[in-house]
């Protein structure tokens, strides 16, 4: 099947369309993060307006609360949260390591204690796919071990090999229980030969898309781009490439240039709730006193509804007065910013002007 069509290429950058049962995703695509069945502080009806075509849900959070069985009973995650476009769910592996307590890792899977109520929970590759099947996400992620960063070579190798055995088990279980899409995840830390081996093993198993995992975990942008430089070229070229947990606007542009098609990140919403607004000149902190008297939009170059209707001075006031509307406005604004960035990237690739766009954007954007 060719559910992914690449319509334009500029260097390694690709413009594509990914078909899922709940709609088409134009790539390169950014997925707002909807951890607990909500993109925090954003109504789904407004999320449609931002031109978001897919969101991400966190399996770890949803399995613990409200539980995947309840979401299944309510007709799946789309219906539960009132979102009728595609959803990708992660496998839960990352959060087991970053959020839970008392982990016990074995060949079979991971036992851990819930960060919410301490309950003992066991997740295996099969269990993760079963949960994601209950959630009925359009794109299911293979369950992997999240290799700590930095990792010694032997540690990274053993971890990657375990993840590859788990990837194979995910595929086996998936094909008997789920008709949506399954993506594999390349591991191998910052070691080129391990990344190559991982990519090769995943290609042999065969997935609907390939994610680069184990990045956005503390490494520099240069290190991340290095890994992409020697990893993405080893992924099946005709399948979508997804860089998990990334990132800032310049991370995204640099990764598109290296052949990445999909991204997810909490930055637009998390930073929005904390008073940071993304603008074409770089991020600003709306709490800064200089915005108090500014009767202009936070991003004079943008015409999204937040910039059109609200002044920087008003949003500054809302944060100053600890009003919920402040975080609501900046979360939405930041998603608009990210989706406009992705739209501009796609247009630039279509017009064979990606390198010009990249240079123009980065020359103005000061992080």
Q: Which residues bind its own copies (CB under 8 A)?
A: 36-38, 40-43, 45, 61, 65-66, 70, 73-75, 80-82, 273, 292-293, 295, 305, 309-311, 313-314, 317-318, 320-321, 323-325, 327-328
At its nearest, how many Å lie between its own copies and the CB of residue 253? 30
User: Which residue in the list 134, 261, 264, 299 is annotated as catalytic?
Assistant: 264
User: Which residue in the list 46, 90, 144, 295 is annotated as catalytic?
Assistant: 90
Give residue 77's region: left, alpha or beta (phi > 0; psi -120 to 50).
Answer: alpha
At its nearest, how many Å lie between its own copies and the CB of residue 289? 12
Whether 295 sits among the annotated catalytic residues: the reply is: no
Sheet with 101-105: strands ordered across: 101-105, 110-113, 120-123
At its nearest, how many Å lie between its own copies and the CB of residue 65? 6
Q: What is the CA radius of gyration of the chain?
A: 20
Q: Return the number of the residue (283 or 305) whose C-beta is nearest its own copies.
A: 305
The Cα 197–Cα 208 span in angstroms is: 19
Taking the CA of residue 316 as centre, how many other CA atoms within 13 Å lie in the half-sphere pointing to its CB? 18
At its nearest, how many Å lie between its own copies and the CB of residue 305? 8
Q: Return the number of the residue (66 or 236) whose C-beta is nearest its own copies.
A: 66
- Closest by CA to 221, choosing from 55, 367, 56, 358, is 367
The answer to whether 39 and 55 have CB atoms below 8 angstroms apart is yes
Whether 3 sits among the annotated catalytic residues: the reply is: no
Q: Return the number of the residue (124 or 271) whose C-beta is nearest its own copies.
A: 271
Contacts of 172 (CB under 8 A, 6+ apart): none
Query: Any idea what DSSP says for residue 275?
Result: T
Q: Return the number of the residue (73 or 229) whose C-beta is nearest its own copies.
A: 73
- Token readout for 42 is 């954003």
Q: Which residues are catalytic?
A: 90, 264
């Amino acid at each position: 099947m060719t559910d992914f069509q690449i319509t334009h290429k500029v260097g390694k950058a690709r413009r594509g369309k990914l078909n899922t049962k709940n709609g088409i995703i134009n790539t390169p695509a950014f997925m707002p993060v909807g951890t607990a069945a909500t993109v925090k502080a954003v109504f789904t009806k407004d999320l449609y307006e931002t031109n978001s075509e897919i969101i991400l849900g966190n399996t770890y959070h949803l399995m613990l609360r409200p539980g995947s069985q309840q979401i299944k009973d309510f007709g799946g995650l789309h219906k539960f949260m009132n979102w009728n476009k595609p959803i990708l769910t992660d496998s839960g592996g990352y959060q087991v390591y970053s959020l839970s307590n008392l982990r016990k890792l074995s060949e079979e899977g991971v036992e851990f204690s819930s960060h919410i109520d301490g309950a003992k929970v066991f997740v295996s590759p099969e269990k993760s796919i079963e949960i994601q099947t209950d959630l009925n996400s359009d794109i299911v992620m293979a369950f992997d071990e999240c290799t700590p960063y930095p990792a010694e070579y032997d540690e990274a190798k053993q971890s990657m090999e375990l993840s590859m055995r788990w990837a194979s088990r995910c595929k086996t279980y998936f094909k008997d229980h789920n008709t949506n899409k399954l993506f594999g995840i390349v591991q191998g830390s910052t070691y080129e030969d391990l990344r190559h081996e991982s990519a090769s093993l995943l290609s042999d198993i065969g997935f609907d898309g390939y994610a680069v995992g184990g990045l956005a975990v503390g490494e520099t942008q240069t290190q991340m781009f290095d890994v992409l430089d020697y990893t993405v070229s080893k992924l099946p070229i005709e399948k979508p490439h997804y860089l998990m947990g990334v990132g800032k606007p310049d991370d995204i542009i640099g990764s598109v240039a290296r052949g990445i098609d999909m991204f997810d990140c909490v930055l637009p919403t998390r930073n929005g709730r904390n008073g940071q607004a993304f603008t074409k000149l770089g991020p600003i902190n709306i709490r800064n006193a200089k915005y108090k008297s500014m009767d202009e939009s936070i991003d004079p170059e943008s015409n999204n509804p937040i910039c059109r209707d609200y002044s920087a001075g008003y949003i500054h006031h809302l944060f100053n007065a600890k009003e919920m509307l402040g975080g609501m406005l900046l979360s939405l604004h930041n998603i608009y910013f990210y989706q406009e960035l992705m739209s501009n990237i796609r247009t630039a690739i279509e017009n064979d002007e990606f390198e010009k766009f990249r240079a123009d954007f980065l020359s103005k954007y000061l992080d």
